[in-house]
Structure 1
């Protein structure tokens, strides 16, 4: 019985490694980390992250954010870094949209 349980545990670990890779959270980190001191997200990067056009209004920005965060949130299998990038992009674009509407 002990050999069977050991073989079952090994098979599960082998499947997990094959399916998810050595570090399952790394597959969500598609972009390299930013250098120190570059905390601000540029508007072009923000539009690329959210997938909105240059003339997007607040409703489009919020809808794109809501769509992306549904899968990228850590509670739903995403990563903290990806969630932070999406939130920073939303904040930058909303600030720009509000300043341009004044």
Structure 2
């Protein structure tokens, strides 16, 4: 019984200190997985900058736009990928100050 109580207290302590439960510490991070999926969708490498993201998004939109035989869902997915990646880069790069 004491072991279960200590294990529960340890779990709560890890949650308070790390912001994640102990079983979440070693699994894949959902945010990192989303960023990887966005990079794959846009065809970008890990250190792509603002201009690279915008150019890749423009190329993808040209392929998946409904006026060119694509779907609105594909456009929304491309826009979400662009927005996610742009949110992760430095604020000065977003403002056009490179």
Q: Output aligned runs, 1:18-57, within 5 Å.
A: 42-57=34-49
Q: Which moved more, 1:92-101 or 1:74-83?
A: 92-101
Contact 2:57–2:82, Cα closer than 8 Å, also in 1: yes
Q: TM-score, normalised by structure 1?
A: 0.55
Give the unaligned 5+ runs of structure 1. 1-40
**What TM-score do you get using the length of structure 2 for normalisation?**
0.57
* Cα distance in structure 2, aligned partners of 1:100 and 1:56: 15
Gaps of 5+ in 2: 1-32
Task: Compute the RMSD of aligned alpha carbons.
Answer: 2.2
Q: 1:47 to 1:79 in 2, by over 3 A?
A: same
How many residues align? The count is 62
Give the C-alpha shift of residue 100 in structure 1. 9.0
The residue number in structure 1 matching 2:72 is 80
**1:101, CA displacement in angstroms?**
5.9
Matched residue, 1:22: none
Larger RCO: 1 or 2 (CA < 8 Å, sep 6+): 1
**Which of residues 72, 76, 87 is equivalent to 1:95?**
87
Q: CA deviation at 1:84?
A: 0.9
Following TM superposition, where does structure 1 have runs of at least 4 consecutive aligned residues deviating by more than 2 angstroms?
Answer: 98-102
Residue equivalent to 2:52? 60
